[in-house]
Amino acid sequence: MVSPKSSLGDAAFRRADLMGSSIEASYAGALSFMRRKYTRNLKGVDVAVTGIPFDQAVTNRPGTRFGPQAVRAASAQHSWGPVWPWRFDPFETLAVVDYGDCFFDWGRKQDVPRAIEKHLSAIVSKGVCPLTFGGDHYITYPVLKAVAKTHGPLGVVQFDAHRDVEPNASKDRIDHGTMFSLALQEGLIDPARSIQVGIRTCFKGEDAMAMEMLTADKVHAMSAAEVAGAIRNRLGNGPSYLTFDIDFLDPATAPGTGTPVPGGFTSYQALAILRELKGIDFAGMDLVEVSPPYDHAELTANAAATIAGELLCLKAWARGARPQEMTG
């Protein structure tokens, strides 16, 4: 339902109700994610969107510190009304807020993981699902620490061009290519319930610490329903987490990322797979590696904002949202 107070504008600050949508000019106003209210009051909240503008763990191009800001801005044009093809407005089912960004001292890199974990723990401990925007992919490690603290070992579905698993990874290194190794070593991830989708780079350690892998060639040869079926079979019924590295998409679709790898996927393919995951109620979700300095015409930011919207639709479906009859 579109709020009758939509003419007020700046819903990011002036919104009175956490539910429902409002209409604002996409080119104006305070740019929270999907025009949700900026607040750290989590009373009655289902999902808290938060940004982690950290890119000091990259192995190639930096710039993902600008990712949360870009995804918020790109979301303005998608921020109201029923979502195609779900045919419902997720904000009629979910109370979603923009929790703002994680603060950390950029001059004390070694303190950043703890700052991220503390920031996310404040969300998860309240029974709220976090939807986190990076930042580089390293941020998923401290986020997983916070989520696993409440939910226990997690089944993980990772959409990515890279495995980001190094069997002998050291905890002393802050590297966006080793964070899943650390999470596995610490028991945050249940490898028997985890799957990596879209991998198209070489790596050390064929077993990758027992995580299943669907390489890009396999995914290209499968239907969206088949890919989703493999994900469902792997995750099972326990608590699960979804992490989406934007380089899962082909650079032709999403050029604005730090380590682009040709041979990836279109936005349609990614969205089709996500829609086939209906029914899974993820304990946490993130979207990482959007690097605006390498983007063109906001292609990557727009794709990321759309994917984030789909993740909210997944959550809304798990909480009972169903297609509405469209009129007019």
Q: Name the pLDDT band for 149 (thresholds 50, 70, 90).
A: very high
- Lowest average pLDDT, out of 5-14, 207-216, 267-276, goes to 5-14
Look at the block and give the residue holding tokens 């209409």. Answer: 23
Judge whether 180 and 189 are in contact, CB under 8 Å: yes
Does the pLDDT of residue 24 top 70, yes or no? yes
Does the pLDDT of residue 5 top 50, yes or no? no
The Cα–Cα gap between 252 and 266 comes to 8
Residue 29 is predicted with a pLDDT of 86
| 199, HSE (Cβ side, Cα atoms, 13 Å) | 19
Q: What's the average model confidence in pLDDT over 244-264? A: 98
Does the pLDDT of residue 217 top 80, yes or no? yes
Dihedral-angle region of residue 187 (phi above 0 means left; psi in -120 to 50 means alpha; beta otherwise): left
Residue 25 is predicted with a pLDDT of 85
Is the preceding peptide bond at 68 cis, omega within 30 degrees of 0?
A: no
For 33-80, write each residue's pLDDT tens digit.
999 999 999 999 999 999 999 999 999 999 999 999 999 999 999 998
- Helix (H), strand (E), coil (C) string for the chain: CECCCHHHCCHHHHCCCCCCECCCCCCCCCCCHHHCCECCCCCCCCEEEEEECCCCCCCCCCCHHHHHHHHHHHHHHHCCCCECCCCECHHHCCCEEEEEECCCCCCCHHHHHHHHHHHHHHHHCCCCEEEEEECCHHHHHHHHHHHHHHHCCEEEEEECCCCCCCCCCCCCCCCCCCHHHHHHHCCCECHHHCEEEEECCCCCCCCHHHCEEEEHHHHHHCCHHHHHHHHHHHHCCCCEEEEEEHHHECCCCCCCCCCCCCCCECHHHHHHHHHCCCCCCCCEEEEECCCHHHCCCCHHHHHHHHHHHHHHHHHHHHCCCCCCCCCC
User: 227, 266, 217: which is closest to 246 by C-alpha?
Assistant: 266
Q: Name the pLDDT band for 4 (thresholds 50, 70, 90).
A: very low
Cα separations (Å) of 49 from 28, 87, 287, 309, 313?
20, 22, 11, 11, 14
Cα separations (Å) of 274 from 69, 250, 296, 309?
23, 17, 25, 11
Q: Name the pLDDT band for 114 (thresholds 50, 70, 90).
A: very high
Judge whether 43 and 50 are in contact, CB under 8 Å: no
For 277-310, write each residue's pLDDT tens digit.
999 999 999 999 999 999 999 999 999 999 999 9
pTM summary value: 0.94
With a CB cutoff of 8 Å and minimum separation 6, the contacts of 145 are 117, 120, 183, 186, 188
Crossing angle for the helix pair 299-318 and 267-275, to the nearest 10 degrees: 10
Q: Name the pLDDT band for 208 (thresholds 50, 70, 90).
A: low
- Lowest average pLDDT, out of 140-154, 207-221, 234-248, goes to 207-221
Report all structural domains of the chain as residue ranges with CATH numbers, in order of start.
6-318 (3.40.800.10)
For 87-104, write each residue's pLDDT tens digit.
999 999 999 999 999 999
